[in-house]
Chains A and B, each alone.
Chain A
């Protein structure tokens, strides 16, 4: 895989003649306004004059492996090896990709791309086949694409794509062509090594933080640690006295130190000793009242997300009634690559280099900040050293252009780890109350679920927000468990803590609460937690993943003293997943996760290695957060600062993970988020099994020590 050049982009826009370019109609199925013509060219699959297959979709790479996955899909339809496809990460360009947002997140990529990309590939293949058939004077049906060429099957003669592209491009593009059937797959579902793995391992891949622009200076920053506070003073002379420091730039709530290198900038910032000020309401904000306000919001009626049946009637004569409140803390993303951005503002224009999950939004944000027309701003998107939702916000770019507008040269702005953690957009703190009534016949009669917390959707929608956050209630309104009566409500409650998307998003919150509660109900009536779930879940695909983890996790065997196993199952992001976590809790109540058994049905698997990698990833990322993750507030500021006080799993703490992938050809589901969602409740349930203590307030380790 190589990075596309300007010329490739021109090919993509159809400006270069002699190339076959097929629009990938992303978003066609979701578009309300635009018809097919408006979609043409929003993303493209091409074969250039040299026969090179090129691909550019509005999806970017943060570790999830999407560039490899989309390349595999294109390679399948165009009968080439994945490493023969040139795939690029496009610049930020909302107009080009409209009506689809140029956004990578929410486990949406494969689900969005699967059908239109295969269709585009099939049309390109049909065009090449038709060109060869015309040249040979044979029927299209006698020809097929194989190994980057078209083969006349009866005779075995071949023509490489390079010899066919001009003719194929000159003819009308076939309006439709059948995609390859699953029975013929040669790439999809087969082992494929990540295409970007080698360069990343060697340290030659270019992340945003690695960008070097001629004449570039380095900078770092400090933003007022109190949310909403401002800069009161800075010892500019002391900063400038540090060798290599070339400038001190103040903003309302920020100070930037410019220097010849990052070290000098960091030394300069330490010397500058910025002073801050904030009104008492902000400077006096403390964690406990913030969290208490979230829980208190559960006592409000809330806005109804879904309701069916009559809860009161269904509760009459209930054989068992269960109610509990669960709380989940603010969380930081803590991507390995701290915040960074390179920008050059000059001559009424701005050029930006960064890694963003929303490159077109970030470009727009920069244009707005600089009061420039959008076409005066260019954003080159780069590989991200982790995203997890952090790079769905544009503040890193905004801060960088705020600085870059003051200097004539390009500047690379790097956040310290401490700044990155103090000024993240945190996963909201939530409180949930769930009330489940079992009828005399053992079925779930009533299920009431109240949710309170910050609403990211409300922030994004503004006045259009009507009270129910569709992200927060996702999963909660589509449970695997049937109930005669059901009601789910949401109540927004905000604090000074900024919130945004975090891997697993709303459904992760839902999954922790629902799968903890179902486990509690099973134990309440003395049922086996897996048997109870199987008895109340009708969906056969969910049944299969549950039965698979039961069979493969030693579920039926009595665990050793101090060891407990916990199960959970989800159907989210069009993926079914079950997990059994096995934990050990020692005499000091320290939790160790020994092993995790996962079964996944994500429909048609495109990259088997990628699917298993995502499970390792989500399980370990989720275990870090479920056991230890918590951002706390004192005096209006975040208390955590680096990996010593925001603990994440290390290799010696990582569980053994055994994954089974269910083989089928259903529509592909998402894989970035689900393992992170399934592991939280599995761990909580395992801790209960090991200790008899039910932790309803995350993180688990702290909750167990205070239980």
Chain B
């Protein structure tokens, strides 16, 4: 009996590195990253595009990994939390997250930080309204939202300083 969903070589650029995987091109990036590429910083929360825990950047745009088939990312630059934190903006975000002491359970935080990176890249000095709008796709059940607001403002400052 023929198998449903053919497995083929899928070549992706993840955090600047070209990697090939034997996978279904339909497989959402979330599962490809976690189970196949073994990059577990990208988290599973809802698999329905509702919580943002699986956020990654594709050509700098925040996407939900659970809603993005691997085939849609072929030929594009995928940045996960692991790659983001080696870049200046990612470093600023981690520094701010630590300074403000944002994290509680921490499960949603990589997705929050990826979303924050896209927000700051688009709007280098976001005010609270811009933060609320830009971050409303990410759920945190621990209620770290007040500190996320503060950390994004702080990361924007740090990142602006880096670039000055």
> Contact residues of A with B, CB < 8 Å?
62-65, 193-194, 196-198, 200-207, 209-210, 212, 218, 237, 240-244, 261-264, 266-267, 271, 334-338, 383-388, 414, 416-417, 609, 613, 616-621, 642-644, 648-652, 654, 656-657
Contact = CB atoms under 8 A, between A and B. Distances in A.
A374 to B, nearest CB: 29
Contacts of A657: 146
A201 B110 contact: yes
A620 B143 contact: yes
Given A201-B98, A244-B24, A263-B24, A651 B148 contact: yes
A242 B45 contact: no
A642 B101 contact: no
25 contacts: A193-B98, A196-B103, A200-B106, A201-B102, A201-B109, A207-B43, A240-B1, A242-B3, A243-B24, A261-B36, A262-B31, A262-B34, A264-B5, A264-B27, A337-B43, A385-B105, A616-B144, A616-B145, A616-B146, A617-B104, A643-B48, A650-B137, A650-B138, A651-B136, A652-B136
A643 B50 CA distance: 6
Given A261-B27, A385-B43, A648-B139, 4 more contacts: A202-B41, A203-B40, A204-B41, A617-B142
Contact of A618 (B1, B102, B143): B143
Contact of A261 (B35, B148, B149): B35
Contacts of B105: 62-63, 200, 335-337, 383-387
B51 A651 contact: no
A616 B147 contact: yes
B141 A414 contact: no
Contact of B4 (A201, A271, A388): A271
A383 B149 CA distance: 25
Contacts of B32: 261, 263
Interface of B is mostly: loop
Given A202-B85, A243-B6, A650-B139, A194 B35 contact: no
Contacts of B135: 651-652
Contacts of A198: 94, 98
**Size class of B's contact patch?**
35 or more
A621 B106 contact: no
B106 to A, nearest CB: 3
Contact of A209 (B4, B44, B94, B131): B44
Nearest to A608: B101
Nearest to A216: B35
A262 B1 contact: no
A695 B101 CA distance: 36
A335 B105 CA distance: 10
B156 interface: no
A620 B24 CA distance: 40
B43 to A, nearest CB: 7
A114 B154 CA distance: 34
A338 B106 contact: no
B4 A619 contact: no
Contact of A338 (B31, B44, B138): B44
A544 to B, nearest CB: 24
Contact of B35 (A196, A218, A388, A417): A218
Nearest to A609: B101
A334 B140 CA distance: 11
B96 to A, nearest CB: 10
A643 B46 contact: yes
A652 B147 contact: no
Nearest 9 pairs between A and B by C-beta? A203-B41, A200-B106, A63-B105, A620-B143, A385-B107, A263-B31, A652-B132, A63-B104, A261-B35
B85 A386 contact: no
A613 B46 contact: no
B107 A207 contact: yes
